[in-house]
Each structure stands twice: as structure tokens, then as C-alpha cells.
Structure 1
């Protein structure tokens, strides 16, 4: 998969994704995978509790590695992510804490007050973090809801190396 395309087309949608070793997939390959999924396939992924959990955990783990401390500078902010569930899946909550040139991610809701909370469905979340959607367009079309510091939310993408599909 060194060129970012080998094997991606052969994943077989969500079934192929279920058997994927996420640790071996580059951010660019992940972006290509998400780009190739239909809305129906993303909905199917969101219904598979185990697969959804694996995908969300991998995405948030990668946020720490793809954080750009040079761009964040002295920024201190707690960002809460609420990925709305559907069917039997409950809402997933993660927090990214940016401070002192680091980004720390944790699953679940802390007692701390976030500077900004982003609320979005599974499909929109995957499209956003894989570089397959414009954050501004998503906000304008209400596919992402923001509570708190809208300016911080608008600039979040510059603090992370987001792949382009």
C-alpha cells in the first residue's frame, strides 16, 4: 500500500473495513477509504458497534500523532467531540486537550468545561477527519453543530495534519 492505492479498492466496503488492521493504514489511505464509502456503507459501519468503536478509537489515537504543536503555539483548549449514535449505538464522546504544545485524547466526558463542543453524526465525523468535507460547509449546512468558541472550531483543522483524499 505504499502508493496509497493498492488494496484500497479491494476492501469490499464495510465488510473489508472490518478486517482491516488500522495501524497499518496511513492517514492518506484512510482518507481514500472514507472517500470510497457510500452513505449507505457509512451508515452500516455506524450500526456495527464493534467496528464503529475501533474506527473512532483509531481516529482519536491518531489525533495525538497528527497534532501540529508548532501551529498551536500557546493554545490551551479542551475540545469535546460528540459523535451522535444511531440505532443501538449511543453517542460517543471524546475530548482532545491541547496545552503546552501537546494534544492529549481521552474517551468519555470529563468534568472540565470544554472551550468548544462539536456535535456531528458518524458520517460527517469521518468525512471531516479524513479531509473529505469542508468544515465551513458542514457548519453552514448544520451537519456539524458547535457550542462554545466558534472561532476556535473554525481553525481546528490547522492544528492537525489532515490527509487529503
Structure 2
């Protein structure tokens, strides 16, 4: 069972007021089991995913992406499946919730704990892929280099 103090602290957190570095430290302090138990609370899970994906646009590094054109679909499996898409083109990054009719260049599939560890800089995407914690459909080379297009904190 997750430490109820961790759940309470996360539930009371004002995500908008937490820096990416602080968020990375919070995630680093949680076990996969605790993250997965926290994700059982659908309201809290939605708040966390909304904030993480909302920050992607702000943490995008257009100078690194250059002329890259790619639609990345994220499928996060937990109690329910959450789907988001990151559309990179013309030096911009746009994020939307849900699945569009467009064909993604790559689809990344993982659980809640793996997703939070990945986006907070607490896990290597290559290691996750090799350990089958991250499944990739489509352009594996793009997937392996995605982290360079975003300013990801180090916890």
C-alpha cells in the first residue's frame, strides 16, 4: 500500500507551482508501486497527466528539433488508457489529449510509473525499451532520441 502521506502530499500539490526539477525529485522519491497506486485515483492521475503534457510545449527545444516533422502518440496504461499526441513541426510543439485520425510517426506505450519516470528524467528510454517497460511502434530511432527535443530535468 502506498504511504498515505505521499498520496496526500501529491493530492494537495499545486502542480502549476512546482518546477520541473521539484517534480523530478518528487517522482524520484516514489517507488513504481506507489506511483501505480496513486494512479488508481483517476482525478489525481488526470491532473498529473494534464500538467505533464501541458509542460511539454513549454519545455520543447525548437532549436534542437530544427525541421523535424513528427506526430508522437503516447499511450499510458493504468486503470484506464490515456492517450495524448505531441505534434512537432515548423519549430513548434503542440500537445492534445486523445487520438487523432492522423498516422503517428511513432507510438510509445508504457505504464503510469514508467511514464512519470521517463518524463521526469528518472529513467533512460533506451533502458526502458530494452527491459520491455516501454514499447515502441513505428520509428524507433526517433523514439530513442526524443528526450533531446525537450528540456528534461535531472533529479
Question: Which TM-score tier does this pair reach, normalised by the shorter chain?
Answer: over 0.9
> What's the TM-score once normalised by structure 2's chain length?
0.96
**Shift, 1:71, TM fit:** 0.0
Residues 68-101 of structure 1: CA deviation (Å, up to 9, x unaligned): 000000000000000012xxx3100000000000
Match of 1:157 among 137, 147, 150: 147
The residue aligned with 1:17 is 10
Residues 100-130 of structure 1: CA deviation (Å, up to 9, x unaligned): 0000000000000000000000000000000
> Which aligned runs of 4 or more in structure 1 are off by greater than 4 angstroms?
none
**Shift, 1:137, TM fit:** 0.3
> What's the TM-score once normalised by structure 1's chain length?
0.90
**Alignment partner of 1:115 is 2:92:** no
- Following the alignment from structure 1 to structure 2, what is the Cα–Cα distance between the partners of residues 23 and 33? 14
- The equivalences for 1:35-54 within 5 A come to 35-54=28-47
The residue aligned with 1:29 is 22
CA RMSD of aligned residues (A): 1.0
**Shift, 1:14, TM fit:** 1.6
Residue correspondences, number: 152
- Following the alignment from structure 1 to structure 2, what is the Cα–Cα distance between the partners of residues 100 and 51? 33
Uncovered stretches (5+) of structure 2, i.e. residues with no partner: none
Match of 2:63 among 70, 81, 86: 70
**Shift, 1:46, TM fit:** 1.2
**Alignment partner of 1:130 is 2:120:** yes
Uncovered stretches (5+) of structure 1, i.e. residues with no partner: 1-10
- Following the alignment from structure 1 to structure 2, what is the Cα–Cα distance between the partners of residues 158 and 50? 31
- Following the alignment from structure 1 to structure 2, what is the Cα–Cα distance between the partners of residues 129 and 143? 14
**Shift, 1:64, TM fit:** 0.2
The residue aligned with 1:57 is 50
